[in-house]
Every structure is written in structure tokens, then in C-alpha cells.
Amino acid sequence: MKTDTLSGNNHLNSIEQRSSGRKLLVLFSFFALTFAAIPFFYLIKGAFSGELDLIKTVLLREKSLEIFATTIALMSCVSVISTFLGVSLAWCLHNVNLRSNSLLAALVILPIAIPSYVYTYSWMSIIPNLQGFAAAVFILILTTTPYITLAALSALRRSDRAQLEVAQTLGLNKWRSFYLITWPQIRNTVSAGTLLVALYVLSDFGAVSLLGVDTFTRAIENLYRGSFDRSAAAILALVLVAISAILITIESNTRQRSKVISSSNKLMPSSAEINSQRSRFLASLLIGLYLIFALIAPLLQLLLRFISALPGIDYANLFKTALSTIFASLLGSIIALMLALPVGLLSSQASRIGSFTDKSLLIVHALPGIVMGLSLVAFGSELPIVYQTVALLAFSYALLFMAKAVGFVRTSFLRVPKNLMEIAATLNQSKAQSIRRVMIPLATPGLFTATLLVFLSAMKELPATLMLRPTGFETLATEMWSATAILQFNEAAPYALLLVLIAAIPAFLINRPDKSEESGVNIS
């Protein structure tokens, strides 16, 4: 009887500990969301700090409508073409038997390390009169296609080949088989990648500014720099946030559940099966052309400019700037991981609160760097202790890219076998102890990937860095931007090349061939 009583008390204590642990997890998650809400608060405050007539004037003037049309047209063109090109590249890499498919896949995805403004710099060096809308479409397609390729390739490797083989035995050709069998299985992942591309185009500042295309980001920057009253800039920033939120809502509402894979074929490595000379030639041609435009030509131009600039390179400043870039980006990635851990853990559990935190962070993810910079300038001006500090710059990186970290954190926790947590519970371990001793050690590779992803993204971030960096604190991105803006291409080359080389390291670690099965776009 006494033993039963002790057992009952232990069971009650375990329940109480679990309940207490969940409350603590929810508390930490809302704590992270509170930080994420800071930019929205200051944007709304800035937008409505002026007169109401100003809002109507800014929104309804002809220039604003022109900017809106240009932004939407640019986003639509780049999203459609990048999706088509990215899926085509992924299909070729997955299905056509080429020499060194894994190496080609790594090379096709490697441009993810090259920011849009570096592409613009490289191609402006090749074509000096490169300007306008068509040029921006071209540059942004090169920049964003790897996101689609990475997503589609990951989905194709997880698709059920047994269904495809059955379709082909019934007489369906490869195009019909892809449309009826493969596409429904990869559609959700590809649509998440397309959403990521659309948000990237909306947030791009470097390429459109250098190419002279009036989009929301360029207009916000001009208003921020050219006017003491920043209410107009905040109003346009809120419009940009609203567009991003609408895109996320549409993608979320139209997303269809992927087909359930019931075949064991998904557990077996699949090799490319198409060996015809014509298919191999066309696939090689497509991949080769993309690599020439997206990788070989820009990097070759960077090298040539670097060699030309060798006599005048300030190596001390180059080294100092590289260290500053790494330090600020690493600090931002650590902060992002700390904020993402409770949110990712909560969203990995099927609950309304987890779903709410997940969707809330997607809206934060939609904030362009220039909007984040604008809001945190207002925030920092009220707190002199953090204004124009590296800490505030790193905090902006963490808020901008926390949603990316949450995606990997959530996926890593979901992959931890549930039976191990159940075993820990039977050993009278509390929820917090089970998470610390079981979940986190097993999820460490995914947490490392999340940190690398934020680190990579932070190194490439330009507008938020321009607005928030302390006086005298320069990064590789800002040094390159300062030189490029006044057409000093040789002087910009060392900073651009070093930025690409450093960014290529986390890009390779995230997408290396032996981890390709686990790679993907974690936005949804």
C-alpha cells in the first residue's frame, strides 16, 4: 500500500514537473516573440507619428503607385522564372545520369553564398551600362535560383519512385509522369522555396539600388536619408510588410498536404536513371549555362579585378573588416539560436500555441533588412546605451534571420525518436531534464546548421548593416558597397571576393552532398 502511494506521488510530481516545464517553455517563447515584435511597434509608431494627411499623400501619390507596380512586377517575374529554372536544374541533377552529379549539385547551389549586390558589381564590371528592370530580373534570378534548386532537389530525393515506375509502365511519358506523379509530391516544398524567393526580391536593396530600379526598398532608403521626418519611410515600410504578410498568408492557405509515401523506396538511395545522349547533352547544357552566368563569370571577374587591385590593397583594413564581419555575424547567429530554441521546441509540438508562434515568426521573417534597420534606429535612439553598438547590429541580424533558425531547430527536434523521450520519462526525468539530456544532444547537428544559416545570411546583409553599424565599424559588405557606389570597382574587388570566400564555407557545410537528404527550405 505504501509502495503504491509513493508510486502515485512520483507520478503526480512527474505530471507537475511536465506542466511546469511546458509553462516555462511557453514563457520563453513569448519572451522571444516580444523581442521580435519590437520592429513592428516602432514602425507603427513612426508611421502614425505624423499627420493623417501624410499617410494619404504617401500612399496615393503617383510615384508610390509606380513603385508598387515595379516591385510587384519584379517579384512576379523573378519568382516565376527562378522556380521554373530551379526545378529544371533539380530534375536534371536528380534524374539524368551525369558525371559527378553530387559535385554538380554542390556547384549549382554554391551561388547561394553570393549576395545580389556582389552579382550586380560583377556584371556591371563586365557590362558597364547594365541598368534597369530587365537587368534586375537577370541578377535576382541568378541570386535566388539556388533556393528553388535546393528545395526541389531535397523533395525529389524524398519522393516515391515506386509510383513513378508504375506510371511509366502504364505508358505515361516522362513529362506526364512528372506532372501527375512527381509534381504533387514536391509541390509544397517548391512553393515554400518560391515564397522565400518572393520575400528575397521584396527585401533586396543592393541590386535594385545599383541598377537604378525604383522599388520599395530603394524608396525607403531615399526617404530615410533625405528627410528629417521619417514618417513617410515608415509608411512605405508598413506597406512592404503588408505585401509580405499577404504572400505568406496566400502560400499558407493554398498549400496542399503532400502525398503520403507508403513505399519503402524512399528509404533507399536512388540513382539517376536517364542515360540517353540527348537528355545528357540538354541537361549538361542547362547546368553549364547556369554555372557560367551564376558562378564562373562573376568569380572570374572578381579574380581579375582583385589581381588588378593587388598593388593598392590595404591588407590591414581588409583583415580588420573581415574580423568585424565574422564577429558581428557570429554574435547575431548565437543570439538567434538562443531565441529560436524555445520557439522551435514549442512549434515542434502539435499545439495551437506552437502554431501561433510559428506563424508570428514568418511575419518577422518577411521584414526586409532596410525595414528592420529603420525600426531599430528608432528603438536605439530611445536607448543611448545600445544605439550604434555592435550588439544592436547583431540583434538586428538575430531578428531578421531567427525564422530560418527556427525551421531547422523545429525539424531537428521532430527527428528525435519519441520513444527515447518516453524512456526518459519512465526513468523519472522531468521534461526539462529530458530535453537537456536527450533532445538537445540528438538535435545538435541541426542546431549547428541553424547557426551556420544565420551566420551566412548575416554576413550578406547590407541595408540593416548600413543603418545600424557603429561609427567606424565596417563590414566586408559595407566596404564593398561604399566603393561600388562611386564606381571604384577595383577597390571593391578584394572585399567582394573575400566575402564570397568566407560565405562559401557555411554554404558548403549546410549543403554538402552527404547531407543533401536533410537539406531544404525551412520556411513553413
Q: What's the CATH number where 431 sits?
A: 1.10.3720.10
Q: What CA–CA distance (Å, rounded) separates 161 from 157? A: 9
Q: Is residue 516 part of a domain?
A: no
Asked whether residue 283 falls in the same domain as residue 336, the answer is no
Residues 238 and 350 in one domain: no
The domain boundary residue, chosen from 270, 291, 310: 310
Statement to judge: residues 80 and 218 lie in one domain: yes
User: Has residue 505 been placed in a domain?
Assistant: no
Structural domains counted in the chain? 2
pLDDT band at 172 (very low <50, low <70, confident <90, very high): low
* Whether 199 and 64 share a structural domain: yes
Per-state percent for the chain, helix, strand, coil, to nearest 5: 80, 0, 20
Single out the residue in 474, 489, 511 at which a domain terminates. 474
CA pseudo-torsion sign 519, 36, 192, 85: negative
Q: Give the helix ranges, DSSP H, for 415-475.
A: 418-426, 431-434, 440-460, 463-468
> Are 31 and 61 in a shared domain?
no
Distance CA 88, CA 180 (A): 16
Assigned domain for 1 exists: no
pLDDT tens digit string along 5-33? 544 444 444 444 455 556 776 777 777 77
User: Which pairs from 136-140 meet CB under 8 Å and 24+ separation?
Assistant: 136/74, 136/207, 136/208, 136/211, 136/213, 137/74, 137/77, 137/78, 137/81, 139/207, 139/211, 140/74, 140/78, 140/82, 140/116, 140/200, 140/201, 140/204, 140/207
Phi, psi of 96 (to 5 degrees): -95, 135
Asked whether the predicted pLDDT for residue 167 surpasses 80, the reply is no
- Within a domain: 346: yes
Q: Are residues 28 and 123 in the same domain?
A: no
Least Cα distance to 367 among 521, 453, 226, 248 occurs for 248
In a domain, 500, yes or no: no
Q: What is the mean pLDDT of residues 137-150?
A: 92
Higher pLDDT, 29 or 280: 280
In the chain, % of residues over pLDDT 90: 17
Residues 6+ apart with CB under 8 A from 197: 78, 79, 82, 83, 144, 147, 148
Between 196 and 422, whose confidence is greater?
Answer: 196
236 in the same domain as 127: yes
Distance CA 345, CA 331 (A): 22
Position 168 scores a pLDDT of 58
Based on the domain organization, do 414 and 428 belong to the same domain? yes
**What does the pLDDT read at residue 467?**
86
For residue 485, is it within any domain?
no
Give the pLDDT confidence score for residue 323 in this predicted structure: 94
- How far apart, in whole angstroms, are the C-alpha atoms of residue 53 and residue 374? 22
Q: Are residues 317 and 184 in the same domain?
A: no
Question: Of 261 and 223, which is predicted with more confidence?
Answer: 223
Structural domain harbouring 120: 50-259+278-310
Mean pLDDT of 235-240: 84
User: Which pLDDT does position 419 carry in this prediction?
Assistant: 56
The β-bridge partners of 274 are 96
Q: Give the pLDDT band (50/70/90) at residue 258.
A: very low
Taking residues 252-279, report their average pLDDT: 56
Amino acid identity for residue 81 in this structure: I
Q: What is the pLDDT of residue 14?
A: 47
Cα pseudo-dihedral 328, 330, 333, 335, rounded to 10: -70
Q: Give the model's confidence band at 257: pLDDT under 50 very low, under 70 low, under 90 confident, else very high.
A: very low
Length of the chain: 524
Give the per-residue pLDDT at 259: 43
Q: Are residues 31 and 105 in the same domain?
A: no
Give yes or no: residues 284 and 331 share one domain.
no
pTM: 0.80
Helices (runs of H) and strands (runs of E) counted in the chain: 24, 0
90: closest CA among 112, 109, 76?
A: 109
Q: Identify the band that residue 261 occupies on the pLDDT scale cut at 50, 70 and 90.
A: very low
Averaged pLDDT for residues 218-236:
76
Contact 265, 181 (CB under 8 A): no
Closest by CA position to 474, among listed 326, 267, 279: 326
Checking if the pLDDT of 388 tops 90, the result is no
Name the band, by pLDDT with cuts 50, 70 and 90, for residue 266: very low
* pLDDT computed for residue 22 by the predictor: 64
What percent of the chain is predicted at pLDDT more than 70?
73
Q: Which amino acid is at 445?
A: P
Query: What does the mean pLDDT of the chain come to?
Result: 78
Q: Are residues 338 and 197 in the same domain?
A: no
- The mean per-residue pLDDT over the stretch 190-198 comes to 85
Residue 479 lies in a domain: no
Q: Per the domain annotation, does 5 fall within a domain? A: no
Higher pLDDT, 357 or 30: 30
Q: What Å distances lie between residue 375 and 43, 217, 224, 303, CA to CA?
A: 5, 14, 11, 37
Write the pLDDT tens digit of every residue in 240-249: 888 888 887 7
The pLDDT of residue 450 is 79
Question: Which range among 201-205, 384-388, 390-394, 471-475 shows the weakest confidence by mean pLDDT?
Answer: 384-388
